Amino acid sequence: MRLLGLDPGLRTTGWGVIDAIDNRLCWIADGIVPSDDKLCLADRLAQLHRGVLAVIDRYGPIEAAVEETFVNRNPSSTLKLGQARGAVLVAAGLAGLVVAEYAPNLVKKSVVGTGHAAKEQIGMMVRQLLPGCLAMTADAADALAVAICHAHHRTTRRLLQAAEHRP
């Protein structure tokens, strides 16, 4: 199953595509969708939205996983991050993907083994878990970490959701 991991950010949104086949993970591609900070907020969000749609069109994932927003000390930064997440979520939703969201600490724990791992640790573990992976930027490595987290947790999430909806 092809999975898309997304690490939303207003300046740069990281993305990573993996295939999950049984218990094996295979790196397909990764990169970033940048936005031009000289543009107004609406145009920057549109850039992110179009960029994520282009990734979806090119690689054809079935499901997407998005990192949840963490609260910054700066409320304005948190709000902008939330808006970037919204643009990314809408792109995945409009493309018809099943979308899951994961807390940053769960992503780190799933990949590194601790919820407070440093960016360098995440990048190193992503490259270990996905042979051939380049993950040239921290944002792309984080997005691949989200995809790996989803690959590990997706079955459990589905079983829990099904149990909640049983009469």
Catalytic residues: 7, 67, 139
> Distance between the two ends of the chain, CA-based, in angstroms?
30
DSSP state at residue 97: -
Number of residues written out for the chain: 167
Burial class (CB in 10 A: 0-12, 13-18, 19+), 155: exposed
Half-sphere exposure of 64 (CA within 13 A, CB side): 27
Q: What are phi and psi of 2, to 5 degrees?
A: -90, 125
Asked if residue 15 lies in contact with residue 31, where contact means CB atoms within 8 angstroms, the answer is yes
Angle (deg, nearest 10), helices 41-59 and 75-94: 40
Strand 24-34 to strand 12-21: parallel, antiparallel, or no bridges (unpaired)? antiparallel
